[in-house]
Chain A
Amino acid sequence: MIWAEDLTKVFDDFTAVNSVHLDVQPGQVLVLLGPNGAGKTTTVRMLTSVLTPTRGRARVAGYDVVAQPDKVRAAVGVLTEHHGLYSRLSALEYLEFYAKLYGMDASSRMKRITDMLEQFGLAEARNRRCGQFSKGMRQKLALARALLHEPPVLLLDEPTSAMDPESAFMVRNAIRSMRSTQRTIVLCTHNLTEAEDLADQIAIIQRGRIIFNDTSANLKQRLLGAPEYEARLAGTVNGWEPTGLPGVSLVQRSGDVLRFRVENPQEANPLLLEQLIAHRLPVVSFHEVPRSLEDAYLEAVRQAAEVSHA
């Protein structure tokens, strides 16, 4: 649904996006992570055919971003960095304006607008001017605009910024439901919890380059090493170590806790548990030690900085 090869954008003598490769399938959510000015917005703008790539190719919903810009734009719903509302139009007028620009016919237009306003809790404010809206309401209305024409591809830049927790939860649910309807979603966010929660793929972009692009679990494995598992016992254990389990090492022993690094948990964990039980160790719990995406992200940025310094 979204495919890009060697996508590059140069402004005068500044390379904003450098040789980006993307492949996002229908029903997948790709999260673009990166510091401000890393090239996320420029990438999104190229994928909406608003900016022309300096080099490389990209196809969105089957259309070439350079050769078929109008078709690309018709197939994409965009939530931009700035909500872009007209302060003197009401919510209803605003959505109606965009519905007409997207060529929605009069019969379905009103129903769809009403549905969107209701979905985002704006039905009661439909006749209020956008200038009187709170930040969160503006963001919701902008999101409603992006979804209005039911596009197969969604490019969302910070969709939950400025929202209260309840609204943010509602938006995340909306994104999940869109994923379930086979929509392809590219999400730019600084909220790493949200990224981890929603992403099928996470691309970390820095100085215009994608430095990592993988699933959240694989990113953590690649950047933070093999996952760690912790066994909590009913009493203190001294001297025991797992034997004959390749890829399993005891990394911490403190009181009633044993912590293992496991290269291949799928195969090794059942055997490890068998050994613990066979040695009559009183296992109370056995769980994966949670590792945050934030750690992985910071590690990725650190590694990239090291490489660029080198």
Chain B
Amino acid sequence: MLEALRPVYVIAHREIRDQFRDWRIVFPIIILTILFPFLMNYTAQEMLGFVSKYGGEIVGERLIPFLLMIVGFFPSSFSLIIALETFVGEKERGSIEPLLSTPLEDWQLYLGKLSSAVVPPLFGSFLGMSVYLGGLAIGRVPLPDGEMMALIILLTIVQAVMMVSGAVVVSCQATSVRAANLLSSFIIIPVTLLIQGESMLMFWGNYSTLWMAFFGVILLTFLLFRMGLAYFRREELLGREIDVLNLRWGWNTFWQAFTGGARNVWQWYRRVLPKTLKKLWLPFLIVFVLGAAGVVIGFSLVRQFPIVAPPGMLEEMEERLGLLSEVFAPGEFGPVFMILGNNLRVMALALLLGIFTFSVLGVIPIIVTMAVVGYILGILGLNGLPAATYFVGLILPHAWLEIPAALLATAAVLRFGALLATPAQGKKIGQVWLEALAVWAQVMIGFVIPALFVAAMIEVWITPRLAFLVLR
């Protein structure tokens, strides 16, 4: 194994040496690792002095780890620029072909490039953090506790590796450094959002959620790395010379995958859609388990966030239910489309989150929805109401169709991410992406949208009346 890692070291060593001879990289790293931490240090001390005047010491306390994270993040963001250059930069300079002609295995080349992009910026991050913490210690400012420090250091490492993994994927797929830089927004925007989320958690002081974020980022990094390696092809690096957005090819690829060779709608429903649904059984099972976990989480949150109905409210329930059944007349489509639109928005959100995160965040909407169901049932129970009866009356009439449809749509999102992270022999990443999108579209158009439409009609026209009958 060590022998196999030797070329990785040789490549990384060459790259790092090259980087440290480039003043355009060295100069900003020096600034960010030495001058910037001093500035942050000064900011922290001033801020502490200011907030303590008004008794807001806790704000200052929470600011210190936040600034530590920022000090660590800035140099590590350099890893993105270096990583974007790795393959496509060498391609532009013409030095990639001799390298590709050596007996290196793909993973050795990939790992060598990856580690060379991570090491110098991380070195800068740690140096910067040390300077910042040293300054705090000298200024007798209380340092963040051990767990928070460990969290920040670990998050800095995994975020740098995640950015690099993403950037190397971009670098392999792009045809020019310019194109790679443009594509990098697909990395920097989610990472910025992640940092904002982490900052909020830091101010909130919620360590357990931060740990969850850390493990989530590890999972994402692993998936990005796996995808990068799965689609790393020497051929791709040399085959394409210019950026061409081939819309016709894109549409043909999507359409072929969507129709699955069916000649009419009947054939598509009879032959293609069942085949797709069959492939979704495992993701469906996983989403089902996650949904069930959501219900349990929601139910358990009742103890943490109980809501007790004000006196007299429960007595009015029957009257309110009666009103409910009179609100929407059968045949009125306005509320049907409103509910359908809302559900489709959530499905689209799941897809959007899934696209950026290999489906890791794509399952969040269904978990949250099911947690809300569990929480409401728990609250009903807490207030002495028959939760099972309410479930049968208020949820089940339309949920028997709505929940499976939502689970299936989420399963398609999960498969989307899984397909991207799985090696596809002879296929380009764009092709796999479009085919995965076609699977999602098949499921949405073939089953989910019609099912949600029927469910919305039931929810508007039938559920209130059934609820009235059952709960009266």
- Chains A and B bind each other: yes
**Residues of chain A whose beta carbon lies under 8 Å from any beta carbon of chain B:** 11-12, 45, 48, 50-52, 70-71, 73-74, 76, 78, 80-86, 88-89, 93, 97-98, 100-103, 142, 145
Q: Is B256 an interface residue (CB 8 A)?
A: no
Q: Is B189 an interface residue (CB 8 A)?
A: no
Bound: A74/B94 CA distance, A? 20
Cβ contacts under 8 Å, B312 to chain A: none
Q: Is B101 an interface residue (CB 8 A)?
A: yes
Q: Is B318 an interface residue (CB 8 A)?
A: no
Is A142's CB under 8 angstroms from B103's CB? no
Is B98's CB under 8 angstroms from A88's CB? no
Nearest CB of chain A from residue B92's CB, rounded to whole Å: 10
Cβ contacts under 8 Å, A81 to chain B: 94, 97
Is A100's CB under 8 angstroms from B94's CB? no
Bound: A11/B428 CA distance, A? 12
With A73-B101, A74-B103, A88-B18 as contacts: A97 and B10 at CB distance below 8 Å: yes
Cβ contacts under 8 Å, A103 to chain B: 103
Bound: A135/B101 CA distance, A? 22
Cβ contacts under 8 Å, A102 to chain B: 102-103
Cβ contacts under 8 Å, B94 to chain A: 80-84
Nearest CB of chain B from residue A213's CB, rounded to whole Å: 24
Which chain A residue shows the least CB distance to B234? A50
Bound: A88/B25 CA distance, A? 13
Q: Find B104's partner among A83, A88, A101 (CB 8 Å cutoff).
A: A101
User: What 1/0 mask marks residues of chain B from 97 to 131 whose CB sits below 8 Å from any chain A CB?
Assistant: 11111111100000000000000000000000000
Is A73's CB under 8 angstroms from B14's CB? no
With A83-B94, A84-B95, A84-B99 as contacts: A101 and B10 at CB distance below 8 Å: yes
By size class, the interface of chain B is: 20 to 34
Bound: A88/B18 CA distance, A? 6
With A11-B239, A89-B14, A97-B14 as contacts: A82 and B97 at CB distance below 8 Å: yes
A-B contact pairs, 30 of them (CB 8 A): A45-B97, A50-B97, A50-B234, A50-B235, A51-B239, A52-B235, A71-B103, A73-B102, A73-B104, A74-B103, A76-B101, A78-B101, A80-B94, A80-B101, A81-B97, A82-B94, A83-B94, A84-B95, A84-B96, A84-B98, A86-B14, A88-B17, A88-B21, A88-B22, A97-B10, A98-B102, A102-B103, A103-B103, A142-B98, A145-B98
**Residues of chain B whose beta carbon lies under 8 Å from any beta carbon of chain A:** 6-7, 10-11, 14, 17-18, 21-22, 93-105, 234-235, 238-239, 249
Is A89's CB under 8 angstroms from B17's CB? yes
Cβ contacts under 8 Å, B100 to chain A: 50
Nearest CB of chain B from residue A270's CB, rounded to whole Å: 51
Is B98's CB under 8 angstroms from A78's CB? yes
Is B235's CB under 8 angstroms from A51's CB? yes
Nearest CB of chain A from residue B164's CB, rounded to whole Å: 20
Q: Find A50's partner among B6, B21, B238, B249 (CB 8 Å cutoff).
A: B238
- List 6 tightest A-B contacts by C-beta distance, closest first: A82-B94, A74-B103, A84-B95, A84-B98, A78-B101, A80-B97
Best-buried of B96, B98, B234, B249 by chain A (most CB within 10 Å): B98
Q: Find B97's partner among A12, A76, A84, A100 (CB 8 Å cutoff).
A: A84
Q: A45-B238, A50-B97, A84-B99 are in contact. List 4 more A-B contacts (CB 8 A).
A: A82-B93, A84-B95, A88-B21, A89-B18
Cβ contacts under 8 Å, A88 to chain B: 17-18, 21-22
With A70-B105, A73-B102 as contacts: A101 and B97 at CB distance below 8 Å: no
Is B95's CB under 8 angstroms from A85's CB? yes
Which chain A residue shows the least CB distance to B11? A101
Q: Find A80's partner among B10, B22, B98, B103 (CB 8 Å cutoff).
A: B98
Cβ contacts under 8 Å, B18 to chain A: 86, 88-89
Bound: A89/B19 CA distance, A? 11
Cβ contacts under 8 Å, A82 to chain B: 93-95, 97
Cβ contacts under 8 Å, B99 to chain A: 84, 101
Cβ contacts under 8 Å, B96 to chain A: 84
Bound: A48/B235 CA distance, A? 11
Cβ contacts under 8 Å, A12 to chain B: 249
